Amino acid sequence: MIRPRPYLSWSQLTLFESSPERYLDVYINKKRIFINRGMALGKEIADALENGEVTGDPIKDLVISQIPKFEIIEAELEATLKLGKTEIPLYGKADTAKKNLTAFKEYKTGQTSWSQKQVDNHGQITFYCTIIRARTGKIPQDIELVYIPTKRLPDGIVELTGDMYRIKTSRTLMDVLKMEVRIKKAWEAIGKMCEEELL
């Protein structure tokens, strides 16, 4: 089956599950995704971390210097998930991870705070655990979401508050198996949709 990407990522999975029509627009019809100021700030922080550069903004640079990191920044995660006769290439990019993939952290900026329950149920973390298990045979036990709050100023500019919250979490084999079901369902449905579009 032909698909717009030779792998399945978390962004593809969630977009397809929430709106197959929007998935079609973005991945097949190549319509651009709107980036808001909050997303732009998150990307600026990620780029500064990856490149080890300062932004020139004292609050940003102070927060960035305090963000916990492992050996790899922007760790590419790749594996082939084998489910019976079905093989599904998976791809993700953890914000930071140990070289042996026994631990990783995700950074989240934004104005909406994260609760322990939200972190424990966050599918992106489960998706990354699924890739790592497919690659190493083990589920990482050292996982953390680092929440970096932002605020919107009266002029619409979004900036960091200077705070940071670290929330530890874990995933079970059952969590990963449930994610595998979601992955297989989406992968097959994307293939079917692409075939129908090309007919």
Which sequence spans correspond to the domains of the chain?
10-198
- pLDDT of 34 > 60? The answer is no
pLDDT tens for residues 151-179?
A: 888 887 888 888 899 999 999 999 999 99
List Cα–Cα distances, 93 to 22, 105, 163, 197, in angstroms: 22, 11, 24, 29
Tokens in use for 118? 């939200």
What type of residue sits at position 71?
Answer: E
- pLDDT band at 48; cut points 50, 70, 90: confident
9 in helix, strand or coil?
Answer: coil
Q: Does 118 have pLDDT greater than 60?
A: yes
Q: What is the pLDDT of residue 36?
A: 59
How far apart CA 100 and CA 136 sit, in angstroms, is: 9
Q: What is the CATH number of domain 10-198?
A: 3.90.320.10
The DSSP symbol for 155 reads T
Distance, in Å, from the CA atom of 53 to the CA atom of 59, rounded to the nearest integer, reads 14
- Give the residue from 89, 81, 122, 88 showing the smallest Cα distance to 105: 122
3-state secondary structure of 101: coil
Q: 65 or 94: which carries more pLDDT confidence?
A: 94
Match 């690659």 to its residue by tokens.
135
